[in-house]
Amino acid sequence: MIDLSRGLLKGFYLAEWFVLAEDGSLRSPDRVYRIEPLLMQLLVFLCSRARQVVTKQDLLDIVWCRLVSDETIKASIHQLRRALGDDPRRPRFIETLPKRGYRLMVNPVLAMSASRSTDAVSAQYLVERGRAALGGQPNRASLKQAELYFEQAVRVSPENAEALAELGRTYVLMSSMGVGTGSALLPLARRLAIRAIELDPKLAESRLPLAVAHFVLDHDFESAERQFREGIRLNSKDSLTHRWYARFLSFQNRHEEAVTEARRALEVDPLMLAARRELPKILAVAGRYDEALKETHRLAEIVPDMPELHFGLTLFYHLIKLEREVFTSFVAYLQSLNVAPPVLAEADRAFALGGVHGLFSFWVGVLENEAKPGPRNQWHLIILYALVGNKDRCFEIMEAAFIERSPSLLWLAASPLFEKLRPDARYSDFLTRLGLKEPNTKQQSAVREVSSSRYTILQ
């Protein structure tokens, strides 16, 4: 038998792995393996002699306690390397010393408590799975999956600051994408962020949920900006914080700063589809239409069937008054939603009879007839009613969105889609309630006219 007096059986860390001999498990943030008892015995013995040369005779005497062939020892070492993800040509864990034996290259670190350490590693594994679920372009399914992972991580390890912060960030994304309301999700995100900061003040990821809660729930833009800046100071490569900071700046008509932040979000993570999708929106609101169109085309090459991309193009072409392109983009939007052929035919008739106004009015009717339109369609209704000029219904839906603390409402001050609302006294009242200032419409119009005049026909 192996002398386990060093306490290795109670659990120990080996680089990224947590090893628990009693159940034969090897756990890393993204993998879990269980190995047979003899392999675990071999690993524990090598760890008990870390950085020392262990001969084949040592292994025969202490691990096997009987005579076995060299091939058996080699095969067991190979299996152990495979479980650890070790490369014999460039070993990180087990080094082969020809004609001498083997040497473990990493010092094991004893765990204070096996159960506590197991919980910590399990929580970290769940956190990484949650982050993976949010990779690319988050949608309803991926957000709900991430929520499950992060919630379980918090249950397993209630003082895991990363799990708390990531769950808060997920609630922020859910509120912005209509998977729940801001009034329900953002207070939870705030509490999670505050607790995460208490546990780890240097954790950058906890700053985003707190910043969003400040400006969406409290309309406290000064406190929100402090949290954004602190998050970026702590981690300048956090694409999500850059994206939300870009929105925050855009809401206040600080367009040049907003474009800079949106570009930084893409620079720090060029493969992140969400960052690539955010940039053209920020550019369009800034009146930089040529650049917005170019970035949209790049996104379309990667994900040609994204509904929001085609809906955004529909609105973009409406701003620059290209009716035929509005219709083409809207049909692509409907096709990306997999609507039935009769709906496409009705859209065609609506456009033929009433142009863009008829097309938008048709889609408003479809959305209004849905039993549960949800926050995302609610926002689409606000935009479309503003464009077709039905102000009363538009403000009615805006009131419901305000009660639900929809983050999307904060685009009201910056987006040119709401220019028809601006002469109405209810518009300025709404901006005041949101903590926003009325835009300089003359300056915005001048920027957009220059951009539109440079616009060239699609290639």
Do 31 and 64 lie in a common domain? yes
| Last residue within a domain, chosen from 110, 141, 162 | 110
The model's confidence at residue 440, banded by pLDDT at 50, 70 and 90, is low
Residues 6+ apart with CB under 8 A from 170: 130, 134, 143, 146, 147, 150
Q: How many Cα atoms occupy the beta-carbon half-sphere of 91 within 13 Å? A: 16
| Residue indicated by tokens 């609506």 | 350
Residue 111 has pLDDT above 90, yes or no: no
Residue 117 has pLDDT above 60, yes or no: no
pLDDT in tens, 199-237: 999 999 999 999 999 999 999 999 999 999 999 999 999
CATH code at 149? 1.25.40.10
pLDDT of residue 219: 94
Cα–Cα–Cα angle for 279, 282, 287, nearest 5°?
125
Could you tell me the residue range of the domain that residue 218 belongs to?
113-236
| Last residue within a domain, chosen from 200, 216, 236 | 236
Do 104 and 180 lie in a common domain? no
Residues 6+ apart with CB under 8 A from 313: 296, 325, 329, 332, 333
Q: How many domains does the chain have?
A: 2
pLDDT of residue 157: 87
* In-domain check, residue 135: yes
Alpha carbon distance 176, 382 (integer Å): 15
pLDDT of residue 448: 47
pLDDT of residue 234: 96
| Last residue within a domain, chosen from 110, 137, 168 | 110
Q: Token pair of 64, please?
A: 């096997």
Q: What is the mean pLDDT of residues 322-333?
A: 95
Do 131 and 101 lie in a common domain? no
Alpha carbon distance 82, 88 (integer Å): 9
Do 135 and 217 lie in a common domain? yes
Whether pTM exceeds 0.85: no
The answer to whether 401 and 379 have CB atoms below 8 angstroms apart is yes
Q: Provide, rounded to the nearest whole percent, the portion of the chain with pLDDT above 90.
A: 62
pLDDT of residue 317: 93
| C-alpha 144: how far from chain center | 12
3-state secondary structure of 455: coil
Do 84 and 69 lie in a common domain? yes
